[in-house]
Amino acid sequence: MIAHLILTVQQVQEMIDHVNSHAPLEACGLLAGKNDRVERVLFVQNQAQSPVRFVMDPIEQLKAFDWIDDNGLDLLSIFHSHPAGPETVSPTDIAEAAYDVVHIICSQKDDQWKLRGFWIENHISTEVTLKIIE
Ligand SMILES: [Zn+2]
């Protein structure tokens, strides 16, 4: 697991704009970068079109993976929103976690979005610090 992930204020804003524009449905995407540093936010359609579930569109997901490879980056994180909470990964998120990456939840409460990161291993989630820099 990694201890923290570094994102810029602008990348966080891109993620919030994306999930906010899809609320009350869940929205999702990927973060690509190197080591602990995010370099690019990629959006993927939520095929489930649901307020409580997300399933990444498989074709868009493959295209995003190709883009990440072509640009010499690594998949660092998968993010999705919980427009009506909770702030943490759900039991379903833990059960369905398929990649060794940071799982970021963008949750909304009182019109404010909050981001928290988690590492999921052996069906246990551990919080990962998200360092937001200018
Ligand atoms: Zn979830």
How confident is the prediction along the chain (134 residues), in pLDDT tens digits per residue?
888 999 999 999 999 999 999 999 999 999 999 999 999 999 999 999 999 999 999 999 999 999 999 999 999 999 999 999 899 999 999 999 999 999 999 999 998 999 999 999 999 999 999 999 99
Ligand 1 geometric centre to CA of 115 (Å): 12
Phi and psi torsions of 69, nearest 5°: -60, -50
Neighbours of ion ligand 1 (CB under 5 A): 90, 93
Distance 91 CA to ligand 1 centre (A): 8
Cα 72 to ligand 1 centroid, rounded to whole Å: 28
At 10 the pLDDT is 98
pTM over 0.85: yes
The confidence score (pLDDT) of residue 119 equals 97
Q: Quick one: pLDDT at residue 109?
A: 92
Phi, psi of 80 (to 5 degrees): -150, 165
Q: Among this protein's residues, is 26 annotated catalytic?
A: yes
Catalytic residue among 26, 39, 96, 121: 26
What sections of the chain are H helices per DSSP?
9-22, 58-70, 91-96
What is residue 76's three-state secondary structure?
strand
